[in-house]
Every structure is written in C-alpha cells, then in structure tokens.
Chain A
Amino acid sequence: MDKTLRKPLTYILFVLPALILFIAFFIYPIMDAIYYSFTSWNGISKNVKFIGIENYTTVMSDGEFWSSVKNNGYFILFSLFIQVPIIIIFSLLISNVKRLRGLYKTAVFMPSVMSTAVIGILWGFIYEPDIGLFNQILSVFGVEKIYWLSDKSWAMISILITNAWQWTGFYIVMVLAAILSIPKELDEAAMIDGATGVQRAIRITVPLIMPIISVVIMLSIAGAMKAADIVLVMTKGGPAGATDVMATFMLRNSITSFKYGFGNSIAVLIFVFTLVITALYQFLVARRVERIEY
C-alpha cells in the first residue's frame, strides 16, 4: 500500500505543473514588483536604473494617490455601515417566510453572477443625465437634473450604489444559509418563553450568525480592495480622479504612461495595505468571535 503510493517520480510529476504555474503567477510577480519598485524603469528600455525608495516617496507625497486610498476606504465604510445591516435584515426577512423563498434567493443572487463590466454599462445608462432611469424618476418629484457620474460630489456614491446592488445579494444568500442551519429548537424554545419575532431575531439569531457575519465583513473588505473594474467601466477614475481607487491609479500611472517602476511601487503598496487591513481585522475583531457549536 505505502509502497504503491510512494513513488517520488510520480509525486513530482503530479505536483510540478501546479507548482510551476503558482510560482510563476503569484510568487514571482510579487518579487518582480518589489524589485522594479526600486527602479525608474519605463517598461521598455534596456537599462534599469536603481533609484532606491524614490518611487515610494513620490507616491506617498502624491495627493491623488491618497485620494485613491480614501476611495478604497469609502468602499470599505459603505459595505460595513450600509451593506452589512441590509444583508442582516434581508436575510432575516427571507428566513422568516416560506412562500416565495426560492424566488427571493434566486433573484437576489442573480447580479453577482454577471460581469461587472456589463453591470457598469447597464448602470451607466440608468445614471444617464437626460434619459436615464434615476433622473426620470426624480423629475417626477421636481428634482433638478443630476449629473451622477460626471459630478464630483455624486460620482463616488453612484459607483458605491452600483457595487452594492451587485454584491449585497451574494452575501444575503450566504447569511441566509447560516440562519437556516440553526436548529429550530432554539427559536421554538424562545417562542414558548414568549419572545416576539424581533426579540428572537436580535437575541437568538443574530448572535448565532456572528461568525458568518464576521466572514462577510472580511470578504467585503477584500472586495473593497479589489474594486477596480467597476470604476474603470463607469468613470475611468474621473471626473478629475474623484473616483480613482488604488488599482485604477496604478494602471493609469504605469502601463499607459510608461512608468513601470513607479506603477510597481503602487502594486507593492496595494499588497501591503491589504495585508495590514486583513491582519488588523483578524487580530482586533475576528479572534473575539467565538466558534459556535450547537
């Protein structure tokens, strides 16, 4: 038995393809980004010049970079304080009904299987100032035309709404699954004790689903750091950089403007920021959420 399953050559042949691709597309790129982030390479010329940490000091003193970091922050705050409460409320609502539950689940989840690019196009149409859906609805109430995506004060919130529209349902279905896996007896016992529906939801269900909510928060933070395609499709980072996130700022300042070394220093910063936020969340919050066993 052990002899058959200990064939070094077979073992190596089996793991090698995965290992090569993994190293080539995960480990090597990170090393490569770190290396070029200390150079002024333009991406084409033969000579690569080391300039120490100059790229980093340039980025760190660039106001546009920090405004893109702030926009990533808005993505995180919006999901924490607006999406997460909606997710909890609607997953509780769906778990409370029997009729149409399948329909709600299917419909709510649907936007998250679609391409973000196409959803960006679709919502660009909805935000269109002259014939778009929003201004048409608002004009019924006599509200003046709003330039959703080209007005600095509206562009970011417009993107956040579209992003929430696409992803909230995904998390609702995740939390719903957790709620439905709670043993019925707990809820029934509380009902016999005379607890109302709202009391049961707040005192019994929500505490029991804290672990999955913690996961949802973790995933929304990761998602917020990943956001880029929706911004590119809807505003390309405009107007005047008002909706830039770190990734779009990086892409604009690298491939298209021949600042490969500079761009890589932003790539490294994205990597570091994401790790720091994830680690902070794990240490400060996630560890306190106990595992629940029934």
Chain B
Amino acid sequence: MIKSLKKSVNHIFLLGYLAIILFPFLFVLFSSVKSNNAEISSNPFGIPTTFVWDNYIKAWVNAKISTYFFNSLYISILASITTIAIAALASYAITRMRYRKMSTFLFQFILLGMLIPGNALILPIYGLVRKMNILDTHWALYIPYTAVAIPFSVIILAAFMRSIPSELEEAAVMDGLGPFGIFTRMILPLTIPAMVTVFIVNFLGNWNEFLLANYFISTDELRTLPVGMVGFRDAYNTNYAQMSAGIVYSVVPVMVIYAVLQEQIIDGLTAGSVKG
C-alpha cells in the first residue's frame, strides 16, 4: 500500500515533466488549425472548434517547405555518407594496417579536433569557403559538414574496428586478399552496426545545423529547412496559425524518424557525446 503510494508520487512528478515536454507541441498543433490569432488568444488551451486546414496549404506554399526540405535532405545524406566513407578508410588504415607508431600519432592528431570549439571555427571556415569560391552554393555546406564530422566518426569507427579479431584477417590473407579486399569484403560488412550509429548522428547534426547554413547561403532557393523556417517566421510573424503549420511540417519528419529508430538514435547520440 505504502509502496504503491510512493510509486504513484514518482509517476506524478514524471507525468508533470512529460506534460512540460509535450504541451508546447500540442499548443502548436492546436494553433495550426485555428483560423487566426484572435481564436488562438481567446481559446489558447482548447481543441479548436473548427479545423482550418487551409493553414497547411498556405504554409506549404509560402514557406517553400518542399524546396527547403529537399535541400536539407540531400545535403545531409550526401555529407553523412561521404564522411562515413572517408572516416572508414582512415579508421581501417589506423587500426588494422601495420604502422603502429604512425597510426597512434594520426589518431591522437585527429582526436585534437574534438577539443576545438566549433564556434571558433565558423569565421575562418567562412573565409576558407569564400577563398574556394563556393560561397552561396551547396558545396559551401556539403564540404564543411563532411569535414567537421570526421573526428567523431573516426573515433567511433576505429573503436569498433579495433575490436574485430585478427584471426579473420589471417584467413583472408591466406585466401589471397590484399588490404583493399580485406577492407571491402570483410571489415566493412562487419562494421555496419557502427556505421549506422555514425550515420544517424551525423545526419541529425547536418539536418539541424543552423549557423553555417545561415551565413554561407544567401539565395532563398538554396536554403536548408532550419534557415528557411526562420526566414518564414520573420516574414509571416503576425500570422501565428500559419506559422504553427510550418512548425508542424518541420517537426513531424524528425518525430517519425525518431519513433522508428529511437533505440539507435538514443544510443548513438549519447555514445557520441561521451566518447567525444
């Protein structure tokens, strides 16, 4: 009796926390189908009386969601895949090939990257990107996104590859495989679980990235979703119903991915931050 009472006290606090997390989303969801600001202010907490789906159509057109969404999607995927390919090659050479001293040095060197705060890099990277003459193109995001994720990816992939037993390699060498064959036919397939983790973390990082995307891209059609949404907010900030519909569009895809892959996402993000 006392024990179950104690448990319910726990649950009351936890449900309170849950409400604090979920209520803002509900507020936006309800607001997104209300007709105008007046209806939001007169009935802020309630379910709307009539559903105005028009907001969603207008937001889709006005906020150019489809353009921004596609930009974010393909840049994030391409950059994440490129990072993994480059990091996997390096991790393989560092952990499996027989150059111990050189490899230890290289690994420590790349580890330095985790110490350097990203904010200190924005400005010089801006200078670099301008020198490369790719400012205001998608290359200005694709290349930095690929590069900035390398230290983290090498740490995770190298840790995983190091744990693969060397007996497997010996067998492969007997069968006449060279280093490249061992890499593509044996190490890569075995490393897939770690690569999935790295992909998820990098993809989410790129998908949500705001600072570089905000300062390196000025053409509206080239913007990514976070920057596009801020621009939309600045342009339509008096129409909260429509803005809420815009927020729903940008939140829902992430929620769906999170619902499907939550175990991997939670493991990946927390492991990533601790190792980093």
Contact = CB atoms under 8 A, between A and B. Distances in A.
A251 B212 CA distance: 11
Contacts of A105: 266
A5 B169 contact: yes
B6 A197 contact: yes
Contact of A1 (B6, B123, B173, B210): B173
Interface string B150-192: 1100100000000000000110010001111011000000000
A4 B128 contact: no
A117 B97 contact: no
Contact of A14 (B7, B93, B269): B93
Interface in B116-146: 116-128, 143-144, 146
Contacts of A206: none
Nearest to A250: B123
A69 interface: no
Nearest to B273: A219
B53 interface: no
Contacts of B233: 121, 124
A7 B178 contact: yes
A43 B120 contact: no
A268 B119 CA distance: 10
Interface stretch (A57-65, A75-83, A150-158, A270-278): A270-278
Interface in A119-153: 120-126, 128, 130-131, 133, 136
A127 to B, nearest CB: 11
Contacts of B80: none
A18 B89 CA distance: 8
Contacts of B112: 26-27
Interface in B79-126: 86-87, 89-90, 92-94, 96-99, 102, 106, 109-110, 112-113, 115-126
A222 B272 CA distance: 14
A267 B122 contact: yes
Contacts of B20: 165
A33 interface: yes
B117 A5 contact: no
B195 interface: no
Given A5-B96, A10-B97, A22-B113, A268 B120 contact: yes
Interface of B: 6-7, 10-11, 13-14, 17-18, 20-25, 27-28, 31, 37, 40-41, 44-45, 86-87, 89-90, 92-94, 96-99, 102, 106, 109-110, 112-113, 115-128, 143-144, 146-148, 150-151, 154, 169-170, 173, 177-180, 182-183, 204, 207-208, 210-211, 214-215, 225-227, 229-230, 233, 240, 243-244, 247, 250-251, 254-255, 258, 262, 265-266, 269-270, 273-274
Contact of A97 (B10, B178, B211, B254): B10
B44 A131 contact: yes
A242 interface: no
A214 to B, nearest CB: 11
A60 B92 CA distance: 46
B269 A113 contact: yes
B110 A29 contact: no
Given A4-B173, A43-B127, A260-B127, A104 B90 contact: no
Name the 6 nearest CB pairs between A and B, nearest first.
A29-B124, A117-B226, A18-B90, A25-B147, A14-B93, A115-B208
11 contacts: A4-B182, A5-B169, A11-B99, A24-B147, A26-B151, A90-B14, A93-B13, A113-B269, A121-B229, A229-B210, A264-B124
B121 A29 contact: yes
B215 to A, nearest CB: 6
A170 interface: yes
Contacts of B148: 25
A197 B177 CA distance: 59
A270 B255 CA distance: 34
Interface string A192-210: 0000010000000000000
